[in-house]
Structure 1
Amino acid sequence: MKLKHTLTITTLATLLIILYHVNSNKSSDDVENYEEPLFNTTNLAKSNKIFNLDLKYIQNSSTCAQNESFLAIIVITSYFGHVELRSAIRRAFSEKTLAHMGLKRVFLLGEAPSDKYTKQESIVNENRRFNDIIQGNFIEAYRNLTYKHLMGLKWATDHCKAQFLIKMDDDIVVNLRAVVDILKNTKFPQKLLAGYIFKGMKPIRLKANKWYVTEEEYKYNNYPAFISGWFYITNIKTGQHLVLLSNYYKYFWIDDLFVTGIVANSLKIRHYDLSKYFTVNPEFLECCIRDVKKKLSCDIMVGPNGGDNNLFFKFNEALSFCYDNNCKNRIKSLNDTCISEYKVNLGRGEGVIQNYKIK
C-alpha cells in the first residue's frame, strides 16, 4: 500500500510538471512568446544614437535650462509646416500661463527642404521668437515618426527635471487644466505609461493598406498592448529606459506601438487606463464648447481636432469658464445629447482642372 501511494504521488507530480511546461510554452493568437533583446539597465549608457541616426538638434530650446523642478514637460509631435496648429496651442496657453500651472512645452520637428509652404528660415525665426522648437536631423516623413517620438523623449529626459513627461500630437485637442488635476490627484505607478490602451490588434498584411506591415518588419501575428500616441503620460525615469532600450531593437515605423508596446514590454509596464477621458469624435468637443454656455462641465480631456486648426484654442478658451465658475456635472452623456454637423477634412490638397468629353 505504501509503495502504491508513493507511485500515485509521483505520477501526479509528473503530470503537474508536464502540464506546467505545456502551458508555459503555449502560444496562441492572443499570447505570443516575443523575443526580447538582452540588456542590463544598470549598464546602459547615454548616447546620441537613435538606431542608425547620429542625432543632432538643428533647432534647440533653453526651456529647461534653468534646472528647476516642475510638474510636467509636454513634448508635442508637430509637422514642419503646421504653423497654424502650433499657433493655436500657444494662444491657448502662453509660456507664462504654463509656468503658473507647473508646465513647460516644446514642439518636435524634422527637416522638410521640399515643403512648399514653410521654409527652414521660418522655423528658425519661429524658434527665435518662442524658444520652444526641437528640430532633429531627419526628414519629415510618416515612417520617420519613431525618430521624432524618441527624440522628444530623449531631449526631455536629458534636459528637464519634471515629475511627469507628457507626449501628444499637434492635431489633438487636450484640456490641459484637467490634465494638471489628474497629475496632482492620481497615485500613478513608478513604471508609468498612462493613456488610451489598444489591445488585441494584429498586423495588417494587405499591401494596399496604409498600415501594411511586412513579416520582415514584424513577424508575429499579434501586437502587444500599447498606448495611443495621441496623448500619454509617463515620467522621466520610464522615459529614460524607453529611449535606452529602444536601440536594442530593430527600427519599427509605427511609433506609438514600438515605444509604448514593443519596448515597454521589456520594462514589464502595466499600462494605466485613461480611456474614459478620450473621444474619437471632434463633434463632441464642439458640443462641449456649446454646453459651457449652459454651465455644463465637459468630461472629455483628449480628442481629435477634425481638421479645425483652431479647435485647441477654442476648446480650452471655452472650458476656462468652468474653472472660474461652478459648472454643473452633466446628467446625460454627450453621446446621448450631442447634435452637431459632421465635418470632413479634405486636407491641404491642390485643385486640379481637367477637360472631360461629354458623350
Structure 2
Amino acid sequence: MRIASLRFGLTIAAVLVIQIAFFLYWHGDKVKQYAFPESGVINATFANFHLEYEIVTNFSADRCKGKQLFIFVMTTVKFFAQRDVIRRTWASKNHTADALVVFIVGKDEKEENMKLMREENERYGDIIETTIPDVYNYTALKIHAGYYLHTKYCFDVPFVLRADDDVIVLPDRFVHFIKAGFFNNTGKAIYGIIWTEGKPVRDPSHKWYIPPEYYKPDTFPPYVNGPAYLMTRLAPKAILEKTKETTFFWIEDVMFTGIMANSTGVKLIDANGIFKSTIPHCLLSQTTAPNQSMLHTPTTPLSPIGFEHLDNNDQTVVSTNPPVTYQTNAFSSHFQLPRPSSRQLLTGPPNGHPSTPPESQNTTSNASNSDGSPSPKKKGVISKFFASARTLAPVVAIGTAVLKLGEYLADGSDPIGDISNGVNDVIDWATS
C-alpha cells in the first residue's frame, strides 16, 4: 500500500510540476511578445524638446501578423470625411489583404470632436488616438507615434508606409512590388521622391523661417518628400534611437528622413517612378499606369468624385484629386488648420517644405548600406515544440489526474489518505 501511495503522490507531484512549467512558459512568452504596454506614457525626447504622450487606443501586435505592409496615415481628429473616403476606396478590404492601415490622430481642443472620433473608432477600430496636441506643428510627434507603433508592436512587418490623408495609395500594388523583390528589406532604407539642395529660410518675416538655433547649416541634407514614403522595418527604429541627439523643428520630413536618416546610416532611394506628385494624363483617360503606387497633389482638395471616377479600374493609380473635368470641392473646409502664434516654440510653415523642389532627383546614400543588419531571431525546434504542445498541457495534466483519481476510487482506496501518505513518504525519503 505504501508503494502505491508513494507512486500516486509522485504522479500528482509530477503532473503539478509539468503544469507549472507550461504555465510559466506560456505566460513568460506572452511577456516577451508584449514587452511594451498596449497603452502608456511614451517619451519623445529631442535635444531641445521633450514631450510625454500616450497612445490611448489599445493596440495588439496580433493585428500585424502575416502583414507585408504597415501603413499609418497622418490625419486630424476632425477630418471625418477624409477617413471615410479612404476606407471606402484604397484602404478597403479589397486592397488591404496583406496590409494594415491605421490613422494617427492627436487630441482636439473640442470635446465634441473627440467624442465623435471615438464613436467612429468603435465602429471601425482603425484609429490610433494619442494625447499629442492635434495641430500642424506637432505633426512630427504623430509621426514619432507611427514609428513607435511599428517598432514596438509590428516589427516583423517588413515595410512601413507613412502617408498624409490627401494621398492615395495602392496597398496591393505595393505588396506586389514587395513580393516581387523590388524593394530590399534587409537594410535601413527609405524609398520616395528625394529632394536635394534645400535651403532653410532665414528671413524672420517669412512663414517658413527657421532660426539658426534650430538648424545652423545653410543647406539641408537630401531628404524624402513628406506626403508619403516607404521605409524598411529597420529604418524607423534607427531614427527613433537618434532623436535625443537631434534638434526638433517643425519640418518633419527634413528632420526624420534627412537629418536623422543621415546620422543613422539610412539609405535614401529615389522611387519617383512609383511616387507621383501630379496627376498623370493616363488617369484622365483612365488608361493603366502599372508602375505607380502613390499619388499626391496637395493643391487640390480631396473629392469623392475623384475616387469614384478612378477607383473602378484595378490597374489604375487612384488620386485623391478629381480629374480636371470635375470641380468638386466638397471637403476643402476640412483642410485648413489654424496657424499657431509665431510666439510658440513650434511655429512653422503650413506645408512643411522650405524650398522649391530640386531640378534633379537622384538616388543618394547617406551612409554605407547596412544590409548586414541582423534579422529577427527565429524560434528553435524546442521552442516550436513547446509552442505547439503548451495548449495541450492543461488537458493532459487534468486528464492524467482524473484517470488516476478514477483508478483509485475504483479500487476502493482512499485517495486523500494516499496522497498524504505519499507526500510524507517523499519527505521521509528526501530527508533520510
User: CA 1:173 to 1:190, structure 2 compared with 1: closer, same or farther past 3 Å?
Assistant: same
Deviation at 1:187, TM superposition (A): 4.0
User: CA 1:211 to 1:315, structure 2 compared with 1: closer, same or farther past 3 Å?
Assistant: farther
User: CA 1:263 to 1:307, structure 2 compared with 1: closer, same or farther past 3 Å?
Assistant: same
Q: Does 1:320 align with 2:314?
A: yes
Residue by residue over 1:36-60, the C-alpha shift from the partner in whole angstroms, topping out at 9 and shown as x without a partner, is: xxxxxxxxxx982102112211234
Deviation at 1:271, TM superposition (A): 0.6
User: CA 1:262 to 1:308, structure 2 compared with 1: closer, same or farther past 3 Å?
Assistant: same
Q: How far apart are the structure 2 equivalents of 1:95 and 1:322? A: 16
Deviation at 1:261, TM superposition (A): 0.6
Q: How far apart are the structure 1 equivalents of 2:333 and 2:85? A: 18
Q: How far apart are the structure 2 equivalents of 1:157 and 1:311? A: 36
Matched-pair contact (CA < 8 Å) for 1:174–1:303: no
Once the two structures are aligned, what percentage of the paired residues are identical? 22
- The match for 2:173 is 178
Matched-pair contact (CA < 8 Å) for 1:174–1:312: no
Residue by residue over 1:297-351, the C-alpha shift from the partner in whole angstroms, topping out at 9 and shown as x without a partner, is: 465432226202326733662331669xxxxxxxxxxxxxxx945969794299x
2:191 is aligned, of 181, 190, 194, to 194
Deviation at 1:84, TM superposition (A): 1.1
Q: How far apart are the structure 1 equivalents of 2:86 and 2:106? A: 19
Matched-pair contact (CA < 8 Å) for 2:95–2:172: no
Cα-Cα RMSD:
3.0
Q: Does 1:121 align with 2:106?
A: no
User: CA 1:214 to 1:67, structure 2 compared with 1: closer, same or farther past 3 Å?
Assistant: closer
1:267 is aligned, of 264, 267, 284, to 264
Opposite residue 133 of structure 2, the aligned amino acid is I
Q: SS state of the match for residue 135, structure 1?
A: strand
Deviation at 1:121, TM superposition (A): 0.6
Number of residue pairs the alignment of both structures matches: 282
Q: SS state of the match for residue 86, structure 1?
A: helix
Q: How far apart are the structure 1 equivalents of 2:86 and 2:161? A: 15
Matched-pair contact (CA < 8 Å) for 2:166–2:296: no
Q: Does 1:103 align with 2:99?
A: yes
After TM superposition, the score normalised by the length of structure 2 is 0.59
- The match for 2:296 is 303
Is there any run of 5+ residues in structure 2 with no aligned partner, and where?
1-35, 318-322, 337-432
Deviation at 1:270, TM superposition (A): 2.4
Matched-pair contact (CA < 8 Å) for 1:109–1:148: yes
Is there any run of 5+ residues in structure 1 with no aligned partner, and where?
1-45, 324-338, 351-359
Q: SS state of the match for residue 55, structure 1?
A: strand
Q: SS state of the match for residue 242, structure 1?
A: helix
Opposite residue 348 of structure 1, the aligned amino acid is S
Q: Does 1:87 align with 2:80?
A: no
Q: How far apart are the structure 2 equivalents of 1:200 and 1:94? A: 35
Q: Does 1:254 align with 2:251?
A: yes
User: CA 1:180 to 1:314, structure 2 compared with 1: closer, same or farther past 3 Å?
Assistant: farther
Larger gyration radius, structure 1 or structure 2: 2
Matched-pair contact (CA < 8 Å) for 1:173–1:312: no
Matched-pair contact (CA < 8 Å) for 1:145–1:254: no
Q: How far apart are the structure 1 equivalents of 2:204 and 2:275? A: 31
User: CA 1:223 to 1:344, structure 2 compared with 1: closer, same or farther past 3 Å?
Assistant: farther
- Report 1:328-343 matches (<5 A): 340=324
Q: SS state of the match for residue 258, structure 1?
A: helix
- The match for 1:155 is 149
Q: How far apart are the structure 2 equivalents of 1:299 and 1:264? A: 27
- The match for 2:57 is 59
After TM superposition, the score normalised by the length of structure 1 is 0.70
Q: Does 1:48 align with 2:33?
A: no
Q: SS state of the match for residue 239, structure 2?
A: helix
- The match for 1:72 is 69
- The match for 2:129 is 135
Q: How far apart are the structure 2 equivalents of 1:96 and 1:112? A: 29
